[in-house]
Chain A
Amino acid sequence: MLDALKPKKSTIILYLFIPVAMFVFTVFVPLVTAFYFSFFEWKSGQTIYTAFYTGIDNYKTLISDSIFWKSFGNNIYLVVACIIGQIGLAFVLVMFANSKLTIGKAVHRTFGFFPSTISAVCIGLIWSIIFHSKYGLLNWFVVNVLGGAKQAWLGDSAHVMLYVSIPLIWQFIGYYMVILFSAIAGIDQQIFESAEIDGANGFQTAVHITMPMIMPTLLVCLTLCIAGNMKAFDSIWTMTAGGPGYSSYVMALYGYTVSFSQSNMGYGSAISVGIFVLSLAVIGGSRKLIGLLTRGLGE
């Protein structure tokens, strides 16, 4: 082995030390401290040195905290809504866009992808103007085009989750479209041609040929979608801040409110650990489930 291919230990350490130390400091140190803090009752006015050690009390509270579980439920709601809305709609639109009849594919790509480059805060602000109960665009449309009555969209606690998921879905449809589109471009065109000759219509081709052939990519999209929605925070924070009441809280928002607005760091840390465990469980669990399901399909 040549020296240059097997560099000295000191060279490697020199190159790796700073980034690895920084990574450990910002990712793993907080993770451990969160776990440690979660055993304390630590409220506003206290420091970590004056906080009371309370053992697993915070976790007992967490398990029976209905707002936390409601927030978790809302995360799951978002995951399901976005899987259907983002990946489902993206697939349908890509099937349309992929047909020979489409005009202006490049424009659709550029326009459709655009919202996913904008910050979630901006998206939230724009949509809160659209949803506004008095001056909103949606109400303008409902009143002037549909002839209906104005509604307080984001003030409707029964349906608020549906309304806040619309901007989230809309923002990333184009993103998933581009991913699916590049997967379809990788399929051999002859397969589609022979399907057409055999008389398969667009729907049959989509379901029986395209879908199975891009399954790996669809699964990547699914994972991205689940991971993305478990950490939903910015746009909901700007649109409703969790309201009305607690009806649009998600886990991250609840953790933030308890820790910072209510200055309850000890319990906030327990929630943080809860977010960590539940997010990994949902992401890991869905991967296992997908693995099992696709193995079943293969046989």
Chain B
Amino acid sequence: MSKQKNASNFQPAGHSHKKASYYVGKVLINIVLWVFSLSCIFPLFWMGYSSLKLKRQFNADVISIPWKTATLQNYTDILGNPDYHLGESMWNSARTTVISIVLIVLFSFIIGYILARVRFKLNRPLYAMFLMGMLIPIHSLLVPIYVVFKNLGISNQWYTLLMPYISFGLPMGIFLVEGYVKSIPVSLEEAAAIDGSSFSRSLWSIIMPLCRPILVTVAIIQIFSCWNEFSFALVLIQNVHLQTVPLALTQFKGQFGSDYPLQMTAMLITMSPIVVLYFCFSNQIIKGMVAGAVKG
């Protein structure tokens, strides 16, 4: 930072023309960037203060801030009315997300480690199979998964979504772990083995702590994709009491199509866990998601 400051202060004296264009450039660049950044955050603000308006106030003026007329009516309406089942959907999403993440991290760790370290005949075929899992477009699986799950009686259950979420989360997790384990020297496990540690013991008490950073990355990527997932939920869940958040939100569009402040309130409530999480840990989250994208 200090280096940059020095560099920007380094302006040859006497070049007033150059100096002027320097400031124009500085202002322009910053304006462009701030317009972009604020546009990214603006919907959150807009929804925030619009949720304090009533439908007719919003329809009369979509942009004004309700300084004097602010009301919590929308919040009490939504949280007090069980027909909206918003709390229920958040609970469903939270449960599905948490279980999926724990199992994705666990399975990715085990499979990633075994594929990186243990030599056996099926090692490369398994690796290739998981690689293919990343390429398969999920929308080509919606119909058959619906049919298979329905015929086996496992659609419309609290655990229904776990299977697709875990299966589609696994490939990237496995690759991240596999790559990471390969960067750890084997001598560590050799030393542990000489000291009499079994395979499983080395796996859990030596390798797992070492892999913590990559496991956190895997978890971060999956939190967002599980909480936000829509297609599988749409196809596999018909019972309103099992709806996840994105699904519950689309109901808002259909049933209460024109009450936008109400819809915005619902979105804000259901977004809140993700938003809080994001703004508390934005650095780790950004790093994790980008690492996953680039390496995967």
A interface list, Cβ under 8 A from B: 2-7, 9, 11-12, 15-16, 18-20, 22-31, 33-34, 37, 48, 93, 96-97, 99-104, 107-122, 125-126, 128-130, 132, 134-137, 140, 170, 173-175, 178-179, 182, 217, 220, 224, 230-231, 233-234, 237-238, 251-252, 255-256, 259-260, 265, 268-269, 272-273, 275-276, 279-280, 283
Known: A112-B37, A115-B40. A135 touches B62 (CB 8 A): yes
Give 19 A-B pairs besides A27-B136, A220-B294, A272-B141 with Cβ atoms closer than 8 angstroms.
Answer: A4-B197, A11-B200, A19-B170, A23-B170, A26-B168, A31-B136, A93-B33, A100-B4, A109-B282, A112-B37, A119-B230, A128-B253, A134-B59, A174-B40, A182-B290, A231-B138, A234-B230, A276-B140, A280-B135
- Chain B CB within 10 Å — which of A4, A11, A15, A182 has the most? A4
A275 touches B139 (CB 8 A): yes
B163 touches A26 (CB 8 A): yes
Docked CA distance A118–B286 (Å): 13
- Distance in Å from the Cβ of A118 to the closest Cβ of chain B? 7
Docked CA distance A56–B132 (Å): 26
B59 touches A126 (CB 8 A): no
- Map CB proximity to A onto B276-293 as digits: 1 under 8 Å, 0 otherwise: 001100100110011001
A111 touches B286 (CB 8 A): no
Q: Which residues of B contact A136 (CB under 8 A)?
A: 62
A4 touches B192 (CB 8 A): yes
B30 touches A103 (CB 8 A): yes
Q: Which residues of B contact A280 (CB under 8 A)?
A: 135, 137
In the complex, what residue of chain A is closest to B44 when comparing beta carbons?
A114
- Which of B30, B117, B290, B294 is close to A102, meaning CB atoms less than 8 Å apart? B30
Residue B29 is within 8 A (CB to CB) of chain A in the complex:
yes
B144 touches A272 (CB 8 A): yes
Docked CA distance A28–B145 (Å): 10
Residue B148 is within 8 A (CB to CB) of chain A in the complex:
yes
- Distance in Å from the Cβ of A38 to the closest Cβ of chain B? 9
Docked CA distance A84–B121 (Å): 45
Docked CA distance A234–B141 (Å): 15
Closest 4 CB pairs of A and B: A119-B228, A4-B193, A252-B139, A30-B144
Interface residues in B242-296 by Cβ distance below 8 A to A read: 245-246, 249-250, 252-253, 260, 263-264, 267, 270-271, 274, 278-279, 282, 285-286, 289-290, 293-294
A33 touches B136 (CB 8 A): no
Known: A23-B130, A23-B133, A111-B38. A279 touches B290 (CB 8 A): no
A22 touches B167 (CB 8 A): yes
Interface residues in B51-108 by Cβ distance below 8 A to A read: 58-59, 62-63, 107
A6 touches B119 (CB 8 A): yes
Q: Which residues of B contact A115 (CB under 8 A)?
A: 40, 43
Interface residues in B156-199 by Cβ distance below 8 A to A read: 163-164, 166-168, 170, 186, 189-190, 192-194, 197-199
B290 touches A126 (CB 8 A): no
B140 touches A265 (CB 8 A): no
B interface list, Cβ under 8 A from A: 4, 7-8, 22, 25-26, 29-30, 32-34, 36-41, 43-44, 46-47, 58-59, 62-63, 107, 110-111, 114, 117-120, 126, 129-130, 133, 135-148, 151, 163-164, 166-168, 170, 186, 189-190, 192-194, 197-200, 202, 224, 227-228, 230-231, 234-235, 245-246, 249-250, 252-253, 260, 263-264, 267, 270-271, 274, 278-279, 282, 285-286, 289-290, 293-294
Docked CA distance A129–B246 (Å): 17
B263 touches A135 (CB 8 A): no
- Distance in Å from the Cβ of A226 to the closest Cβ of chain B? 12
A119 touches B246 (CB 8 A): yes
Secondary structure class of chain B's binding surface, majority of residues: helix
- Distance in Å from the Cβ of B130 to the closest Cβ of chain A? 7
B271 touches A275 (CB 8 A): no
- Distance in Å from the Cβ of B292 to the closest Cβ of chain A? 11
Q: Which residues of B contact A182 (CB under 8 A)?
A: 290, 294
Docked CA distance A226–B263 (Å): 32
- Distance in Å from the Cβ of A225 to the closest Cβ of chain B? 11
Q: Which residues of B contact A234 (CB under 8 A)?
A: 230-231, 246
Q: Which residues of A contact B111 (CB under 8 A)?
A: 15-16, 19-20
Known: A26-B167, A272-B140. A101 touches B26 (CB 8 A): yes
- Distance in Å from the Cβ of A223 to the closest Cβ of chain B? 10
